[in-house]
Amino acid sequence: MCHKAKESLNMEDAESHLQSDQEQHPEPLLSSVDIFIFSLISGLLIYWFFFRRKPETAPEIRTVTRTVSQPVRETSFIEKMKKTNRNIVVFYGSQTGTAEEFANRLAKDSHRYGMKGMAADPEEYDMTELSRLREISNSMAVFCMATYGEGDPTDNAQEFYDWMQGADDSLEGINFAVFGLGNKTYEHFNAMGKYTDKRLADLGGKRIFDLGLGDDDSNLEEDFISWKEQFWPAVCEFFGVEATGEDGSIRQFELVVHNDINMNQVYTGEVGRLGSFQTQKLPFDSKNPFLASVSVNRKLNKGGNRHLMHIELDILDSKIRYDAGDHVAVYPTNDTTMVSKLGKRLGVDLDIIMSLKNLDEESNKKHPFPCPTTYHTALTHYLDINNPPRTNVLYELAQYASDQKEQENMRKMASASPEGKALYKSWVVDAERNILSILEDLPSLQPPIDHLCELLPRLQARYYSIASSGKVHPSSIHICAVVVEYATKTARVFKGVATNWLKNQVVTDNGHKPTVPMYVRRSQFRLPFKPSNPVVMIGPGTGIAPFIGFIQERAWQKEQGKDVGETILYFGCRHRNEDFLYQQELEEFERAGVLTQLNVAFSRDQEDKVYVQHLLKKNKEHLWKLIHFNNAHIYVCGDARKMARDVHAAFHEIAQEVGGLTHSQAVDYFKKLMTKGRYSQDVWS
């Protein structure tokens, strides 16, 4: 663009010179001096023009060369396995990091059985090469597949899922095994794991071991341990190999301390690109979050011992677009007091600048988190120090306990024995001991901080249903959340990382606005395409969040002159005078005729508790009419473990009592509504 502007400018200069000459010499014939000057100027212009173009075309040639020279094997896991002498590849579909962690543990375990594995993100490789795995002798592919939302693949497994759906490749001779990660409180429990296992077999793959189904509602870690304790013997039997007996700790990363480094090269909490928080660049996503200013942070409830909050994030100039029903992901930071206590307990200077460098030079994962950085930054921004550590962490750290009894107990908790599982569940999971609590309660345990940082999982983004409409609030995103804080069995106080951090992100008296790293994740939780369709929304507590956005959008649609159908809300809280969230706004929407019905269940304002499902039953005739005859869309948001199930059961009863269906017919009826997108859930456990 610049060189074109310069070329135009030179044309204008030449024209002005010519005009000047014509004005001074109106005679039709030019003198020899004029001809000489004109020729000289023309020659200089021609020389300048061609001289300038040469350096401008050179970078284009170099850029093309760089693009062409990209090595094909970067997306070929087969070539990588051949080059690094691997025979097991463990793919993971992970949304919160757990499936990735399990995949890394399986790859690491493989050396104990005389094999060599690698963990791999299917998003980074060409999965159509799966049929080529037979080129590697005694090879197999393992899949740790999490299910996200309502039976959906995780973001990084979406392309692999799409490929599986349309694939007609023969996987004859391809050995595989699948471990699924799911939650039984959800309708489509472990859908992705089940689909992957069945589809690979349908394509001719050889299942080496039975599908594992991990349940996060119970004890996902225990399910995984039990599965892999049987998985490895089955692998050994199939390939005719034996366990090597090497059970010692194997480090994946080496510590590099930087004593003399430019601070501009040190990560200070960025998720991806170094300096991305200082210089923001489009587009914004999970690897490049936008730093949104907090413009509003107010308490929603008028009483009670909880803290419910409404937060508004400013996304002006970010070019971020969202729809009502989408999710906002925020990257929180750990409690600084807890970080300081960890440093003090381990006796280390947290300001040391270091890197953890992968010992496997061919690995795509060069570092476990952005490096170089300080221990303080790693423990604050990158590592999960608040949740109970998994058994592999205890196993690896046990060697650093000088007390024999403490070491034995740590190893026992990491074992697959019934006693070990019970001890891990009671002492770690049920007692909600995080890594700091464990260090405090095991005084002889003194691990090197670099090994601890290698073992701890990454601190993950937290997702919240957006409590606003992008049509009404295009320059801000609203969050509705409850602060998580309660006493544990060890008399410690557990504080949710994200909600406690968000609670403290307030605009100061001098007008300073804190920032929140965030991005938007698209959802299938959508209002009907036709505004005239009635909507029935059920959202107790903070489950009301997406419905605030829905109602705002229905109001906007009415203002646009559209025919808007009935808009009915069922909300539930404990007390009218304490936690009736958005009461003023909702009652105003009702007065304006946007909300056709506002049904609120105050569960503790009377002797017998009343919940949203009870109010549904009270209005069963009208609800059945809307659903069965008027093409109404149903939306449920909130707790998956109990509320969503009870609401689902209430609709089954309505279909039986008013619609005359049998129980099995009612179940099928609402399953079909789900398939058609007329019964949608945005739930969590």
Q: Give residue-wise pLDDT tens across range 359-395.
A: 988 888 899 999 999 999 999 999 999 999 999 999 9
Give yes or no for residue 21 having a pLDDT over 80: no
611 is in an annotated binding site: yes
Give me the pLDDT at residue 490, please: 96
Which tokens in the block code for residue 316? Answer: 């002006």
Rounded Cα–Cα distance for residues 603 and 622 (Å): 23
Mode of pairing for the β-strands spanning 140-148 and 152-153: antiparallel
Confirm whether 680 is a catalytic residue: no
Give me the pLDDT at residue 15, please: 35
481 is in an annotated binding site: yes
Give yes or no for residue 495 having a pLDDT over 90: yes
User: Helices 620-628 and 643-657 meet at what angle, rounded to 10?
Assistant: 80
Please name which of 656, 611, 660 lies closest in space to residue 636, comparing C-alpha atoms: 611
Please name which of 685, 295, 340, 310 lies closest in space to residue 503, comparing C-alpha atoms: 310
User: E strand or H helix at 633, and its extent?
Assistant: strand 633-639
Give me the pLDDT at residue 150, please: 80
Give the CA distances from residue 436 to residues 331, 339, 343, 387, 614, in Å, rounded to whole numbers and listed in that order. 21, 9, 10, 10, 44
φ/ψ (deg, to 5) at 104: -65, -35
Rounded Cα–Cα distance for residues 517 and 330 (Å): 6
509 is in an annotated binding site: no
3-state secondary structure of 377: helix
What average pLDDT does the segment 389-411 reach?
Answer: 97
Confirm whether 437 is a catalytic residue: no
347 is in an annotated binding site: no
Q: What mean pLDDT, rounded, does the chain reach?
A: 90
What average pLDDT does the segment 653-679 reach?
Answer: 97
272 is in an annotated binding site: no
Could you tell me the pLDDT band of residue 243, with boundaries at 50, 70 and 90?
A: confident
463 is in an annotated binding site: yes
Rounded Cα–Cα distance for residues 461 and 477 (Å): 16
Least confident of 20-24, 27-31, 97-101, 336-340: 20-24
Give the CA distances from residue 103 to residues 91, 126, 127, 182, 337, in Å, rounded to whole numbers and listed in that order. 7, 18, 17, 15, 32
What average pLDDT does the segment 543-567 reach?
Answer: 98
Q: Exactly one of 109, 384, 450, 682 is catalytic; name it.
A: 682
Confirm whether 131 is a catalytic residue: no
User: E strand or H helix at 373, and its extent?
Assistant: strand 373-374
Give yes or no for residue 198 having a pLDDT over 70: yes
148 is in an annotated binding site: yes
Q: What percent of the chain has pLDDT over 90?
A: 83
Rounded Cα–Cα distance for residues 183 and 585 (Å): 35
480 is in an annotated binding site: yes
Rounded Cα–Cα distance for residues 678 and 526 (Å): 10
Tens-place pLDDT, residues 112-126: 898 999 999 999 999
Q: Which residue has the tokens 């980074």?
A: 124
Q: Exactly one of 453, 637, 639, 680 is catalytic; name it.
A: 637
3-state secondary structure of 535: strand
Could you tell me the pLDDT band of residue 679, with boundaries at 50, 70 and 90?
A: very high
What average pLDDT does the segment 271-291 reach?
Answer: 96
- DSSP state for residue 382 in the 8-state scheme: I
Give me the pLDDT at residue 8, please: 35
Full DSSP string of 395-414 = HHHGGGB-SHHHHHHHHHHT
Give yes or no for residue 35 having a pLDDT over 50: no
* Helix residue ranges, H only, 251-354: 336-346
Full DSSP string of 34-65 = HHHHHHHHHHHHHHHHHHHHHHHHHHHHHHHH
Tens-place pLDDT, residues 304-355: 999 999 999 999 999 999 999 999 999 999 999 999 999 999 999 999 999 9
Could you tell me the pLDDT band of residue 247, with boundaries at 50, 70 and 90?
A: low
Give me the pLDDT at residue 38, please: 52
Give me the pLDDT at residue 196, please: 98
Give me the pLDDT at residue 262, please: 96
Mode of pairing for the β-strands spanning 88-93 and 140-148: parallel
CB atoms within 10 A of CB 218: 10
Give yes or no for residue 80 having a pLDDT over 60: yes
Could you tell me the pLDDT band of residue 42, with boundaries at 50, 70 and 90?
A: low
Rounded Cα–Cα distance for residues 649 and 185 (Å): 14
Q: Are 287 and 480 in contact (CB under 8 A)?
A: no
Burial of 125 (0-12, 13-18, 19+ CB in 10 A): buried
184 is in an annotated binding site: yes
Beta strands in 466-610 (DSSP E): 476-482, 485-487, 493-495, 515-521, 535-538, 567-573, 597-602
Please name which of 504, 124, 194, 502 lies closest in space to residue 329, comparing C-alpha atoms: 502
Q: What percent of the chain has pLDDT over 70?
A: 89
Rg (CA), the chain: 31
Q: Exactly one of 34, 295, 363, 684 is catalytic; name it.
A: 684
Which tokens in the block code for residue 674? Answer: 């789900």
Rounded Cα–Cα distance for residues 122 and 159 (Å): 8
Q: Are 647 and 625 in contact (CB under 8 A)?
A: no
Give me the pLDDT at residue 65, please: 31
Rounded Cα–Cα distance for residues 133 and 50 (Å): 54
Least confident of 172-176, 546-550, 639-643: 639-643
Confirm whether 426 is a catalytic residue: no
Could you tell me the pLDDT band of residue 75, with boundaries at 50, 70 and 90?
A: confident
Could you tell me the pLDDT band of residue 58, with boundaries at 50, 70 and 90?
A: very low
Q: Exactly one of 110, 139, 465, 680 is catalytic; name it.
A: 465
φ/ψ (deg, to 5) at 398: -55, -35
321 is in an annotated binding site: no
Rounded Cα–Cα distance for residues 325 and 223 (Å): 33
Tens-place pLDDT, residues 452-484: 999 999 999 999 999 999 999 999 999 999 999
Which tokens in the block code for residue 3? Answer: 């060189």
- DSSP state for residue 226 in the 8-state scheme: H
Give yes or no for residue 498 having a pLDDT over 50: yes
Could you tell me the pLDDT band of residue 17, with boundaries at 50, 70 and 90?
A: very low
